[in-house]
A = this chain, B = another copy of it.
């Protein structure tokens, strides 16, 4: 069986948003008991990640780490038409995940206790983002 749904999220700018429950709802709708849930962003300047869902300082520190690896306004960038966060956002997207896949068992996402699914916006300005969720299995 295959079930697919496109979700839309409005984000206010750079930062993470927990989308675990929205993905879990698509899994529930699918009726699939055993398989995988695939989550995909249709954009190249935001991404997805699975990380610790309890302490918000973890996501704050992840911003610190990634902003060093792909700094805004780096003079070496040639692609800067949309501002200092433009190329940095593409690089952050490549270093994290455009898609992720979570196992489904007993009809639900088999995440660990401390795992959450996050949409990670890398642009400074507000955006509207599309996320395609596909559930496959039996």
Residues of A within 8 A of B (CB): 1-2, 4, 34-36, 38, 40-45, 49-52, 55, 57-58, 60-62, 64-65, 69-70, 74, 76-79, 81, 87, 90-91, 93-96, 98-105, 110-115, 130, 132, 134, 136-138
Contact = CB atoms under 8 A, between A and B. Distances in A.
17 contacts: A4-B105, A34-B134, A35-B136, A38-B103, A40-B101, A40-B102, A40-B103, A41-B112, A42-B113, A44-B112, A61-B90, A61-B91, A64-B74, A98-B100, A99-B102, A103-B132, A134-B137
Oligomer copy total: 3
A103 B58 contact: no
Q: Is the interface of A mostly helix, strand, loop or mixed?
A: mixed
A48 to B, nearest CB: 10
A90 B62 CA distance: 8
Given A2-B137, A44-B115, 14 more contacts: A42-B111, A44-B52, A51-B90, A52-B90, A57-B79, A61-B78, A62-B90, A64-B74, A64-B76, A64-B77, A65-B91, A65-B94, A94-B96, A104-B134
Given A42-B110, A61-B79, A132-B105, A51 B93 contact: yes
